[in-house]
């Protein structure tokens, strides 16, 4: 995550306002997008006077790097990472794939196909993951090549290899489906 922030800062530092003017006139160019979501929850249960508390946090970062053609067609690479903490259990995961979409006039619509993904939590691991992602959102120009916006992100992943305590479980799979909002930071060159 620290590397993503450093990369974002470097890209922002070298952004070109001349490109932003060309981009608003309908030109194509390189797109670098970072989507972020943070969720925190706390559930308190009172069971006959005995109170228990469950806390969890989840951070999701999406990264897209590709090219937007003058028609608005987008082709690129997609990456997503997840880290969470739920009562001391700390799953981490990531997936990489390709993206196809349409981006023009601030509108963003993108379909991603994730070719490989995995999630680990302690000694448990789900791997050989594939799946789809759909993002729909809007970007507002802020300064030069920097844009800020929001999107709704849908992810549907299936992991074909499941390991519990380091032992592979035969004939098993795990499916994960999420819908969540994202804060978008995007750079166009």
Q: Which CATH number goes with the domain that contains 119?
A: 2.40.160.20
**Nearest one of 121, 126, 138 to 87, comparing CA atoms:** 121
Query: Which region, left, alpha or beta, applies to residue 128 given φ > 0 means left and ψ of -120 to 50 means alpha?
Result: left
Q: Which residue has the higher pLDDT, 137 or 15?
A: 137
Reported confidence tier of residue 26, pLDDT bands at 50, 70, 90: low
Which residues form the domain of 28? Answer: 2-40+53-188
Give a yes or no: residue 26 inside a domain.
Answer: yes
Structure confidence by residue, pLDDT tens digits, 104-128: 999 999 999 999 999 999 889 999 9
Number of structural domains (the chain) is: 1
Query: Does residue 82 carry a pLDDT above 80?
Result: yes
Question: In terms of residues, how long is the chain?
Answer: 189
Give a yes or no: residue 101 inside a domain.
Answer: yes
Residues 52 and 66: their CA atoms lie apart, in Å, by 47
Give a yes or no: residue 154 inside a domain.
Answer: yes
Q: Which range, 9-18, 45-54, 69-78, has the best average confidence (pLDDT)?
A: 69-78
Residue 59's pLDDT is 94
Compute the average pLDDT of residues 60-86.
95
Give a yes or no: residue 169 inside a domain.
Answer: yes
Give a yes or no: residue 47 inside a domain.
Answer: no
Give a yes or no: residue 17 inside a domain.
Answer: yes
Residue 22's pLDDT is 40
Give a yes or no: residue 45 inside a domain.
Answer: no
Reported confidence tier of residue 180, pLDDT bands at 50, 70, 90: very high
Give a yes or no: residue 48 inside a domain.
Answer: no
The percentage of residues in the chain with a pLDDT greater than 70, rounded to a whole number, is: 86
The number of C-alpha atoms within 13 Å of 181 and in the hemisphere containing its C-beta is 6
């Amino acid at each position: 995550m620290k590397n993503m922030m450093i990369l974002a800062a470097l890209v922002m530092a070298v952004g070109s306002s001349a490109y932003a003017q060309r981009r608003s006139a309908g030109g194509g160019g390189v797109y670098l997008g970072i989507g972020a979501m943070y969720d925190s929850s706390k559930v308190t249960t009172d069971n006959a006077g005995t109170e228990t508390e469950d806390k969890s946090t989840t951070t999701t970062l999406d990264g897209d790097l590709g090219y937007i053609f003058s028609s608005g067609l987008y082709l690129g690479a997609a990456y997503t990472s997840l880290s969470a903490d739920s009562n001391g259990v700390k799953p981490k995961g990531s997936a990489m794939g390709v993206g196809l979409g349409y981006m023009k006039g601030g509108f963003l619509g993108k379909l991603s196909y994730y070719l490989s993904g995995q999630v680990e939590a302690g000694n448990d691991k789900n791997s050989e993951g594939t799946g789809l992602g759909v993002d729909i959102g809007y970007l507002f120009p802020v300064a030069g090549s920097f844009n800020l916006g929001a999107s709704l992100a849908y992810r549907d992943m299936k992991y074909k290899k499941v390991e519990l305590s380091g032992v592979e479980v035969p004939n098993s799979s795990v499916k994960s489906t999420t819908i969540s909002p994202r804060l978008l930071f995007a750079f166009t060159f």
